Structure 1
């Protein structure tokens, strides 16, 4: 394929196709990263819901452990003094109901009957053994257990622990924390807590929403999968949806926490990025294609003009002049060819003039010989040899003149062809060398980029590990803050009982409780920041892996281009050898021309002898 065809059609098409390919690859990567972020965010949200449920369960445990540390409460329950127990326990109920969303504190006798409910003081003595397997488990193992149940307001999570007095099991106590509107408001975005079955397994439909006006979006989930214990997460429209099942002590799902978070900003950003990339890519592709086409057409026209001029010179037309305007290599070649043609034209003219002079001199000699023949018939024999020599000299001169003209013409054609091939070979060699140097530089840059990408991948992995370690530390600090808060509340209760003597201690306890609350809020913010960091690190890790793969592919393609350039250099070497062969032929012709010039000199000397 000719060079001008490559420049006019192939190169613009390659540029356009490459730009479109880069555009579609970029669009795919943006979409892929966005979808990956949504999936990761959905999973993170589901884990956050489970973490909030676990946090509420931890609150129930802290309340129970606080009660068990109060010796008066334990002793009063052992004595079965309900009135005194009510007096001791109700301040705790009121405080924890306000701070932790406590619904009730419930004491059970060893025979699994209700002894005291802070939510309904008049109801007690009812048998719980038929449906409270968690209390039976605590009685059997004398170890605390977590459980969930359906209360009057909705689902609850509780912690049940045994009560030991003087080494004997005297019953159990539980603390119940509501998972209703207050809990739903703590979750991200919009949330619904939906109950499907009551404590006895009867089907019901009870909802607690984070906002009263919130529409019911729970039907978008596969409820059957949720009831089987699966955590559900998906993305639809501008929202990320999550659902986490809530199980009772027997492991059966009776309720679920549903959440949706608006990620419209991310979706709009993805669309905007896609549109901008599309417009910019199309504009750049069209501009590059037009520019390449214009340059190709210009080169094509200049090459066509140069080829036409060189064809005329090759056919022997030395009157050709090349006045191509421009500062590019092709214009320079055309100017040089014009100079060469002008020099050849002058040299040829000089040879023709010399031949004409010799031919005129030969005619004069012949005429003189004829005159001598007529004037001296007697000397015919003597001067016959002179006349014959003059005629032979004239003939030799004519033949030499023709030979010189033919040799000059051949030498001119060969010199022109050799000059053309030499210029083309030099241009091709320079172009190939520049391309080879560029490809070598590109391969080196790709290799360095690949090393940097691998180093980045290691750093991203290290950051991910550090984020996980920091999250564990934050969880520990959060747990300590909650414990500190409970201890401060207990200290405040004890200080209130001490009256005036405990007022100063109450102030200190209140300050400690405030510091614990502030620590809890701070650790919550840190946890949210860490979740964002971890999500970004995972996205960066994925994108870095894809970048390493893309760089490897580019490296392979660059090596192929290098091999192609090696083949081009081999072809250039072949062309150079041809030029050298033509140069040798020109030298041989030059030698022939010198021999003919010598013959002409000999003939001239012979004529001079005749004249003498």
Structure 2
């Protein structure tokens, strides 16, 4: 289903619309989420800063009270009359009123202050002489010396300032408190001790509890040392150090001076904001659930999803309509290309597609041009194939004729060779006879009658030799005629081979043009992309057909070249044979003339034997000349036999070449038939 162009276009159109919508929606959602978080953090930081400012104002008022009381006339009277508990053992209760004097006055003043400031836990004085008093009164531990206390040393380090100590747990309670202390001087300005006020931080929890951080948010306060000062959500953490709570999240937050962090506490995702007071160093850590923070944009995101779904449906409907308009012409062209791929070239491309001015119109016109080109190409190939079949049959007929003629030549050559062998044998016999005749001439002086008899024998042998030589002359003439006929046949064969080469060249040119057309068709198919796939299949089939034709033409050309080479060699061999036969004919004619002279001389000798013995000596000389001529004749006969053997071998080679040429012609005919069968699948 998704392999069709229509489906792909629909998917492409839908994705082109839905992906931007999804991206825009995601960007808007994430940006709104980031903006809401930033707004929350900014508002929360501002609100916490206001709370911290209120706490600072609260502690500043206590500082002012501490400094005011420390500069009062009553506290400047601090002296050695204040009781010391340094040397006391066991638990001793402070009883300022019972001690009387300055301590009683201080207790009354402290009492009035506490009544006016209910959050105050106590007021106290520690002196340079280890004296100590406070209100409300409490039990003192053994050997208590205020000078060893951190609050005392901190105040003495910063004279004239009210110092806030680190939070601590009030003795005997779970209440966390801080001390605001300052150096105490007498009327002369001499440091006589430290005055301080203890104030609990219970009201901080109430203040932070009243801070609304959404529906689920809250704020906790941690001191610079990590002690939990206030936590309305988990009050049991108050006064405990975060390091002792085994809570890595809080420990991590307590290490931050400022910033935001996403944390998970009790299976809930929280966004936290850390604010550190620039005056006290205490940390305000705000918590709000991510679920609550994102609830305002979840509704917007839901609306965006609905709008995206609606737009997606609209895009789907529009893409189906548009894809149908694009895919229908392509489907029609694909049907045409499939018909062409199956060999049917009769279907025409619809005219309304040819009249289009867009890419589909270009594709339709290209398909129409390709179809016409293929029709023309198929017609040319059919014509060339028919010519090729006719030429192959003609070549085959000529080859068969040549084979028959060469066979006859071979038979004649064999007969000539046999005659040459007989001539050689006769010549050798003549040579032997001449030797005997020479012996006889030498004995002419001894016996005239014997010479006469030998002369008669010699005359008879000479006549036989003359007949043999004349026969050899006739045979050599016949050989010359046969060789000239074979030479003309080979010449005709050579001309036919040249004509076949031209035909093969024409086939090769047609194959090259076919291959070029197939290449152009493949390029047009590649330009058409997916639409040209069927076009590409047809072009590939045509290209394969052209390659097969080219390969077949190459094979034919190779075979014809081999036959042409064999023909040339046969031509050269036949020329050599013709030349040798001409020489042989001349030699045999010379031998015949020599035998005529020999015969005449023998007759003369025979007539003159009875006349004079002196003539015997002349006969002896003549016999030697005759012997030499006979030897020469024997040599000529041997050469003739050798030439005939060469002619016989050349004839056999020519027969072999003609057989190879006949096989090539048959193969050419088969290739032509295969080409015809391949073309028959096309309907033009």
TM-score, normalised with respect to structure 2: 0.35
Q: State the structure with more CA Rg.
A: 2
